[in-house]
Amino acid sequence: MKLNFTIPENDMSLAGIASTQLKKKLLQIGIPTDVVKKAVISLYEAEINMVIHGGGGDIDIEITPEEIILVLSDRGPGIADIDLAMQEGYSTASDDIREMGFGAGMGLPNIKKNSDYFHIDSKPDMGTTVTIKVKI
């Protein structure tokens, strides 16, 4: 089954809506708790990134009996150095965002930790597409 969400730009109050909805659905379908947790944390982190850095975008989720596939595409500035972005503690978030408790540079590493497949497709000015898979 498929789910779609559109995330608006720069509205932190809406960040987390997709992950909350996904969690409810996965639990209702009967996906094991530990898998739900991994998928929800991955999506939450990616969702936050999309609001902070990506200027909003689209989330496409596919759930099959074998895996959960999360694809997040934004139209933001893109990532110049993906390897650097993957490092724990590295962040380009503004001071405003940091004051809200985000931008600690743990987002991408946390997604990697919680997923079975993680791929970033990004070039400067071309936007970023993140693909995450969590096995059931």
Identify which range of 34-42, 71-79, 86-94, 126-134 contacts another protein by CB under 8 A: 34-42
Question: Among residues 21 and 77, whose Cβ is nearest to another protein?
Answer: 21
Bin 36: left if φ > 0, else alpha if -120 < ψ < 50, else beta: alpha
Of the residues 18, 36, 50, 108, which one makes contact with another protein according to CB under 8 A: 36
133 binds another protein (CB under 8 A): no
Contacts of another protein in 3-32 (CB under 8 A): 16, 19-20, 23-25, 27-31
Q: Residue ranges of the alpha helices (H) in the chain?
A: 17-29, 33-52, 82-85, 95-99, 107-114
Round to whole Å and give the CA distance between 41 and 96: 23
Q: Which of residues 71-110 bind another protein (CB under 8 A)?
A: 101, 110
Look-up of token digits 């993680």? 118
The residues that bridge with 122 in the sheet, in sequence order, are 128
Residues 39-68 that bind another protein (CB under 8 A): 40-41, 44, 63, 65
